[in-house]
């Protein structure tokens, strides 16, 4: 890294001794000597331990929708934690958060809170299995639903490992996932109508749930083809399958009612985390009353920290702002300007690029004309993407190092930040062009 980086390197060496890879999540490790360690984050910026300042487009992998250390959220959290951070009883604030989620998300009648996206999807899958009395789960290649074993399959793999698109091979994303779970998971290429249709003809009546992100939120933000989410909906109706829409990244970000509002789609269940609490640990699963109300009637769901006060208070303050203020509209307008600007910088430089996603959460694949799933996204120029990102980081703009991870915007990103980012990007393209 061509910027002052000595303190990050030293801290990494120290961290290696007690933390595997020197971090608390594999995704935070970029490699030896290039992984930044952070000192503070405020608004749309972060500062590493060497004092380098960056315009941040990682937004903590998506949760920060308002801005880092957002005052109105922190103030509500401070006020509430003085009344106790945790109790084995329910507060009015939790009820209000559930009411706000149900009011904002069109397919949600009832809600249960959780602490992370992983927990939310794990619980949603159990509820779907309990509701249908079936065990198989269908998911799509390139989608990530958290670290639970049931769906940590084909989250990312080289195309050869995925087998033929007509009969895909589920690829576990980690050692330690029980091989027998292979019998319960079916992985399919995203946006492929025929393969979904054929697969369900064979296993439709054994399938408890189809779990799906609205877009490939963990692989270049590739959007659904027109009608694909509706097709899932109609197939779920045909076979009595629970449609779980995983809105952990899109919820309260691409629209107030997430992808349900954006695409007019009505899943049976939905999962949330990230933008729900502007960075505090809070998540939720929700859905139709008929399905959610089996919880507690022979169906277990809960957790000591599911009503943790910092998370609940942060969700309360964040949702209130998102609901009442033109925040997402502002992010959309600025994000659109950034997306358009990046696209024209590439086109002025004669570089083929395929933009994807939404202004609040977007990405681009370089060197390809069209991307519909993880298999063709694999053909994009990932090494060049990485060189561009490193050039941008050296100039004070930080998207994620991993090309699968979208750029995230927040309300605190100003028009001036967008201008600065576009200047930096033009420079990065100029210096990296072969
Ligand atoms: C779509 C989706 N679902 C679930 C998760 C897991 O959430 P968490 O990291 O809060 O466990 C993620 C995390 O990135 C995600 O993007």
| pLDDT per residue as tens digits for the range 151-170 | 999 999 999 999 999 999 99
Pocket lining: 248 vs ligand 1, CB cutoff 6 Å: yes
Average pLDDT estimate for 379-391: 97
**Which residue of 145, 173, 272, 374 sits with most ligand 1 atoms within 8 Å of its CB, as the best mutation to test the pocket?**
145
Whether the pLDDT of residue 69 is over 80: the answer is yes
**Which residue of 274, 275, 280 sits with most ligand 1 atoms within 8 Å of its CB, as the best mutation to test the pocket?**
274
Pocket lining: 155 vs ligand 1, CB cutoff 6 Å: no
Query: Considering only CA atoms, which residue is closest to atom 13 of ligand 1?
Result: 146
Average pLDDT estimate for 68-77: 98
Average pLDDT estimate for 315-323: 98
Q: Which atom of ligand 1 is nearest to the CA of 213?
A: 1
Residues labelled catalytic: 144, 246, 274
| Per-residue model confidence (pLDDT) at position 98 | 98
**Which residue of 115, 118, 120, 250 sits with most ligand 1 atoms within 8 Å of its CB, as the best mutation to test the pocket?**
118
Whether the pLDDT of residue 389 is over 80: the answer is yes
Whether the pLDDT of residue 433 is over 90: the answer is no
Closest to 330 measured CA to CA, from 103, 71, 101, 44: 44
Mean pLDDT estimate for the chain? 97
Residue listed under structure tokens 């998370």: 311
Distance CA(282)–CA(194), nearest Å, equals 37
Q: Is the whole-model pTM more than 0.95?
A: yes
The answer to whether the CB of 371 falls within 8 A of the CB of 380 is yes
Cβ-based burial of 165 (10 A; exposed 0-12, middle 13-18, buried ≥19): middle
- Please give the full DSSP string across 328-378, using - where no structure is assigned: HHHHHHHHHHHHHHHHHHHHHTT--EEEEEETTEEEEEET-S---SHHHHT
Give percent of the chain with pLDDT exceeding 90.
99
Distance CA(249)–CA(62), nearest Å, equals 6
Pocket lining: 213 vs ligand 1, CB cutoff 6 Å: yes
Average pLDDT estimate for 85-93: 97
- Please, what sign has the CA dihedral across residues 27, 144, 402, 4? negative
Pocket lining: 61 vs ligand 1, CB cutoff 6 Å: yes
Instruction: Give the model's confidence band at 245: pLDDT under 50 very low, under 70 low, under 90 confident, else very high.
Output: very high
Average pLDDT estimate for 323-351: 98
Pocket lining: 146 vs ligand 1, CB cutoff 6 Å: yes
Pocket lining: 145 vs ligand 1, CB cutoff 6 Å: yes
Q: In the CATH hierarchy, which fold is given to the domain comprising 6-69+326-432?
A: 3.90.1150
The answer to whether the CB of 265 falls within 8 A of the CB of 259 is yes
| Per-residue model confidence (pLDDT) at position 128 | 99
Whether the pLDDT of residue 171 is over 70: the answer is yes
Pocket lining: 139 vs ligand 1, CB cutoff 6 Å: no
Q: Which atom of ligand 1 is nearest to the CA of 283?
A: 10
Interval between CA 348 and ligand 1 midpoint (Å):
36
The answer to whether the CB of 219 falls within 8 A of the CB of 213 is no
Average pLDDT estimate for 384-390: 97
Q: Which atom of ligand 1 is nearest to the CA of 143?
A: 1
Pocket lining: 280 vs ligand 1, CB cutoff 6 Å: no
Distance CA(302)–CA(216), nearest Å, equals 29
Average pLDDT estimate for 18-34: 96
The answer to whether the CB of 396 falls within 8 A of the CB of 53 is yes
Average pLDDT estimate for 200-207: 98
Residue 296 in tokens = 């507690």
List the chain domain ranges. Answer: 6-69+326-432, 71-324
* Residue 262: DSSP 8-state: H
Whether the pLDDT of residue 434 is over 70: the answer is no
Phi, psi of 424 (to 5 degrees): -65, -40
Pocket lining: 405 vs ligand 1, CB cutoff 6 Å: no
Pocket lining: 54 vs ligand 1, CB cutoff 6 Å: no
The answer to whether the CB of 405 falls within 8 A of the CB of 58 is yes
Interval between CA 145 and ligand 1 midpoint (Å):
5
Average pLDDT estimate for 342-356: 97
| Per-residue model confidence (pLDDT) at position 1 | 81
| Per-residue model confidence (pLDDT) at position 421 | 98
Average pLDDT estimate for 67-80: 98
Q: Which atom of ligand 1 is nearest to the CA of 116?
A: 10
| Per-residue model confidence (pLDDT) at position 305 | 98
Interval between CA 253 and ligand 1 midpoint (Å):
14
**Architecture of the domain whose range is 71-324:** 3-Layer(aba) Sandwich (3.40)
Average pLDDT estimate for 279-298: 98
Average pLDDT estimate for 96-118: 98
Interval between CA 247 and ligand 1 midpoint (Å):
9
């Amino acid at each position: 890294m061509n910027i002052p980086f000595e303190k990050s390197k030293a801290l990494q060496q120290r961290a290696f001794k007690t933390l595997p890879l020197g971090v608390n999540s594999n995704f935070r490790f970029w490699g030896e000597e290039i992984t930044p360690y952070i000192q503070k984050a405020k608004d749309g910026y972060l500062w590493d331990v060497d004092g380098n300042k960056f315009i941040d487009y990682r937004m903590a992998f998506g949760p920060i929708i308002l801005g880092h250390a957002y005052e109105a959220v922190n103030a509500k959290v401070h006020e509430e934690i003085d009344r106790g951070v945790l109790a084995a009883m329910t507060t009015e604030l939790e009820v209000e958060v559930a009411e706000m989620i149900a009011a904002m998300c069109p397919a949600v009648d009832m809600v249960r809170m959780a602490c992370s996206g992983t927990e939310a999807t794990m619980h949603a899958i159990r509820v779907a299995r309990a509701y249908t009395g079936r065990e198989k789960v269908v998911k799509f290649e390139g989608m990530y639903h958290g670290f639970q074993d049931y769906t940590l399959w084909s989250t990312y793999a080289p195309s050869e490992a995925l087998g033929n698109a007509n009969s895909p091979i589920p690829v576990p994303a980690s050692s330690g996932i029980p091989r027998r779970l292979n019998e319960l998971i079916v992985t399919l290429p995203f946006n492929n109508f025929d393969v979904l249709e054929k697969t369900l003809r064979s296993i439709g009546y054994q399938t408890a749930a189809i779990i799906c992100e609205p877009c490939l939120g963990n692989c270049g933000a590739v959007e659904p083809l027109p009608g694909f989410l509706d097709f899932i909906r109609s197939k779920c109706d045909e076979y009595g399958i629970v449609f779980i829409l995983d809105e952990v990244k899109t919820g309260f970000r691409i629209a107030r009612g997430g992808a349900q509002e954006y695409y007019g789609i009505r899943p049976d269940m939905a999962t949330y985390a990230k933008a729900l609490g502007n960075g505090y640990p809070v998540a939720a699963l929700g859905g139709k009353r008929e399905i959610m109300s089996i919880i507690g009637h022979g169906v277990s769901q809960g957790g000591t920290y599911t009503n943790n006060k910092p998370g609940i208070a942060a969700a309360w303050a964040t949702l209130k702002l998102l609901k009442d203020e033109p925040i997402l509209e502002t992010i959309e307008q600025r994000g659109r300007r950034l997306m358009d600007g990046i696209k024209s910088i590439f086109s002025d430089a004669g570089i083929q690029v395929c933009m994807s996603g939404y202004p609040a959460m977007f990405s681009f694949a370089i060197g390809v004309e069209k991307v519909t799933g993880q298999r063709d996204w694999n053909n994009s120029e990932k090494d060049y993407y990485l060189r561009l990102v490193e050039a941008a980081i050296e100039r004070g703009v930080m998207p994620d190092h991993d090309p699968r991870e979208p750029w995230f915007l927040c309300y605190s990103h100003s028009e001036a930040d967008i201008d600065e980012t576009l200047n930096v990007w033009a420079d990065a393209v100029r210096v990296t062009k072969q």
